[in-house]
Amino acid sequence: MAKKFLQLAALLGATAVVIGAFGAHGLKSAQPPLTEYQIGIFEKGVQYQFIHTLAILAVGLLLLHRPDHRRLVWAGWLFTAGIAMFSGSLYLLACRDVLPFSVLWAGPVTPIGGVCFIAGWMMMFLGVASKEDSAG
């Protein structure tokens, strides 16, 4: 599992750079133009993706020392789900005026992603604090 999370962190990190660059350059010419508020929402999505990509990297590194630790594995998947739901919904909501489809459904998804982040951090805490050695 360590290798999977390390690879996932690398992919999510690269994706965050691409999405951030798109936000910084590509969205400036969007029609209709995005408001400062929408750009702020987009940037918040990128920020949280980067932070939680580093958390997934930490999970992968921790799993090198405690292979298949159940709570650490849960932490990694919760961070991944949080990125998809929290950051993903913010990207959609920020771009709602330029997308050819409705993204109103994404609003309620954002806090679910936030709960995944919180649960991921709690699982990481419990995983590091516990004496469990494996998923056994």
Q: Whole-angstrom Cα distance, residue 59 to residue 40?
A: 29
Domains identified in the chain, total number = 1
**For position 132, what pLDDT does the model report?**
65
**Which residue in the block uniquely carries the two structure tokens 């109103």?**
104
Residue 30 lies in a domain: no
Using an 8 Å Cβ cutoff, are 61 and 6 in contact?
yes
Q: Is the pTM of this model over 0.85?
A: yes
Look at residues 10, 3, 16 and name the one whose alpha carbon lies nearest to residue 84: 16
Does residue 28 lie within any of the structural domains?
Answer: no
Q: pLDDT tens, position by position, for the chain (136 residues)?
A: 999 999 999 999 999 999 999 998 988 888 898 999 999 999 999 999 999 999 999 999 999 999 879 999 999 999 999 999 999 999 999 999 999 999 999 999 999 999 999 999 999 999 999 876 544 4
Q: State the pLDDT at residue 130.
A: 83
Structural domain span for residue 84: 2-21+36-129
Is 27 within the bounds of a domain? no
- Answer whether residue 134 is part of any domain: no
